[in-house]
Amino acid sequence: MPSHKQRILMAARGEMPDLLPYVPRIDLWYNANAAFDTLPRQHKGRTQDEISRAEGWALHKIVPEFLNVSKPEDSLHRALGLYRLKEMVFDFRFSKEIEIEVKNEGDYTSVFYHTPVGSVSTKTMYSDEMRRSGASITWIEEHILKRPKDYKVVGYLFENLTLEPSYERFREWQKYVGEDGVPGTIVGLACSPMHHIQKEFLDATDFYFHYSDYQREMRALAQSVEHFFDQALTMIAGSPAEMVLWGANVDDMITYPAYFEKEITPWIRKASGVLGGKGKVTVVHCDGENHGLMDLIRDSGMHVAEAICPYPMTKVKVEEYYRQWGDKLTIFGGIPSNILLAESATEEEFEAYLDHLFKVIAPGRRFILGVADTTPPNAVFERLIRIGERVEKEARLPLAGGAFRPLPGSATPEATTAAAVLSEPAQHEFDGVREDVVKGRHKDIAAHVKALLERGLSAKQILDRGMLDTMQAIGVKFSAGELFIPQVLLSARAMNEGLKVLEPYLAASKREVTGKVLVGTVRGDFHDIGKNMLVTMLRGVGFEVKDLGINLSADVFVKAVAEYRPDIIGLSALLTTTMSEMGKVIEALKRDGLRDGVKVIVGGAPVNAKFARDIGADGYAADAGQAIDLAKGLMAVKG
């Protein structure tokens, strides 16, 4: 009988194993439940690998164990995207001209890099709260690029970086995993030098502004980082590794189509060509919304798209993935993590999803079954067991398909048709301002606004007909998938520059706002790109918004509601580990007698309408565009 390793490699290489490989990732689930002593009774005292082996599952060893290091120094340079891990086939060293200073303060680690061309610094954090939630990597609190002059310093660091093979360390790791899985190696978490800058050196939102404003500096830095990528590719090509994770967190909003094609695809092709020529499998962690990247990912050259998270957690159904990709690359995933949660899916919905899955991926070639992105801490463990049981019983290959129960709510919602406002001719007076907003020309808009004021147009007319109408149309196009995060952020920045000119006039005329909204990311969650988008778009259509930030307890929200008295509170969570905090916020509002005076809307990747209803929220939105419509609707009802 083939081993787990043999089945995974056969599927990854386009061959047909005897059984559908089942490789659930359980690190996040394990870390959280081990910390709280809530592991299933039969697995008390076991490691996560012992649990997988006891259940007969393959070990998921594609994503490294970033916190499982020999000594703290091995993850010291995490904010540079540099690691010393057992999964890696190379080590690195800086030149002697670079002086490194380290300061540890509680949960925070600051690293200062002093070079002949200047100094830069980073700060990372790993708190008890992160440990309890099962977080598997430290958080970058302070990124290395803060000013344009930092580009040269960071470039110097990478130009003076030397890699050396560390194959024996990796062989020990291979020996441990054995035939129970395929241990992967990595360069880092990025697919290309520019992607590396995006993921490691800048805040998720700031990157897009820098990408627009500092192209020359960014291109030079990417060329410096390329020195590291080229060395790493050579080391990996000559290593004993059979599977290589070449980057992570592909998503059609973050790594939007034009960016993916220009900045990421060439390096995936390069890596896949070099590594494929050595018999190795190139894997990319495509765990986001891939609706806008379907053709680009298929044609990128990657061998395996891992952590594929289909509908109902994202827009693309599993059958669409298999139909479009199944003849060119292997799909690794297919089980959206929220289908494992009792609060997101009933037992009937869970079983119906599996019925549907086994039918639509027939005959089952080029498919590795796994949880996308990973098993959440509050997953129903019996559902993981049930998947394994059904694989053994029903997933002998080739799959025949056959009868199945319809997946409840399986019809994917139609995308809202984009308004044609942007393409319709505007009244001549506002053309310049509208074009500034659409094209994100933040340096030009102030002069155009002043010119309109000098011609006698009122501040309210300029705001309403030159800016808000335009941002409304941009929001519709964003929601429909026709525009992406960078365009919206750049447009909003331009509008805000124009608004600075109008503010004194608007204040004098007592500008009327659409409503007051309080927004924040719940406790334990440090992601902010979705929240930032919501704040940007709400302000763009006339709401007054107070952004509380990230990692906020229920009491912080309650205090802010009492002080600010908003009409609506927007709660964001990107992780299945933190979505339960939304319910705590609602309960805290009830406790303090504030719930009846405010509408609560929720959103984020793991959240759905069922969850929103169950916790008593007033609405759920799948993205910032839908949240705008929801907020407007709630304000209309509120009167």
Structure confidence at residue 427 (pLDDT): 62
Alpha-carbon distance of 344 to 342, in angstroms, equals 5
Mean pLDDT of 9-20: 97
- What integer is the mean pLDDT of 71-94? 94
389: left (phi over 0), alpha (psi -120 to 50) or beta: alpha
CB 182 within 8 A of CB 8: yes
CB-based contacts of 38: which residues, under 8 Å, 6+ apart? none
Q: What are phi and psi of 104, to 5 degrees?
A: -110, 125
- Give the integer Cα–Cα distance in Å for 565 and 522: 19
Spatial separation of the C-alpha atoms in residues 322 and 537, rounded to whole Å: 34
Residue 410 scores a pLDDT above 50: no
pLDDT tens for each residue of 173-182: 999 999 999 9
Calculate mean pLDDT across residues 354-358.
97
**For residues 578-598, average pLDDT:** 93
User: Is residue 560 helix, strand or coil?
Assistant: helix
**Tokens linked to 435:** 């074009």
pLDDT mean over 469-489:
86
**pLDDT tens, position by position, 519-546:** 999 988 877 778 888 888 888 888 999 9
Measured distance CA(225)–CA(639) in Å, rounded: 55
Interval 379-398 mean pLDDT: 97
Judge whether residue 409 has pLDDT over 60. Answer: no
Q: Look up residue 182 and give its amino acid.
A: V
State the pLDDT at residue 404: 38
Domains along the sequence of the chain with CATH: 413-512 (1.10.1240.10), 514-639 (3.40.50.280)
Tokens 């394994």 correspond to what residue? 388
pLDDT at 389 over 60: yes
**Residue 318, H or E segment:** helix 318-325
- Residue 405 clears pLDDT 50, i.e. is over it: no
Which residue did the predictor score with more confidence, 489 or 157?
157
**pLDDT tens for residues 170-212?**
999 999 999 999 999 999 999 999 999 999 999 989 999 999 9
- How much is the pLDDT for 575? 77
Mean pLDDT score of the chain: 91
Confidence class of residue 639 from pLDDT cuts 50, 70 and 90? low
Q: How confident is the model at residue 131 (pLDDT cuts 50, 70, 90)?
A: confident
Name the percent of the chain lying above pLDDT 70: 95
pLDDT value at residue 482: 86
Q: What number is the average pLDDT over the span 69-79?
A: 90
Q: Region 107-124: what's the mean pLDDT?
A: 97
Cβ(305)–Cβ(331) below 8 Å: yes
User: What average pLDDT does the segment 602-608 reach?
Assistant: 87
Tell me: pLDDT of 337 over 50: yes
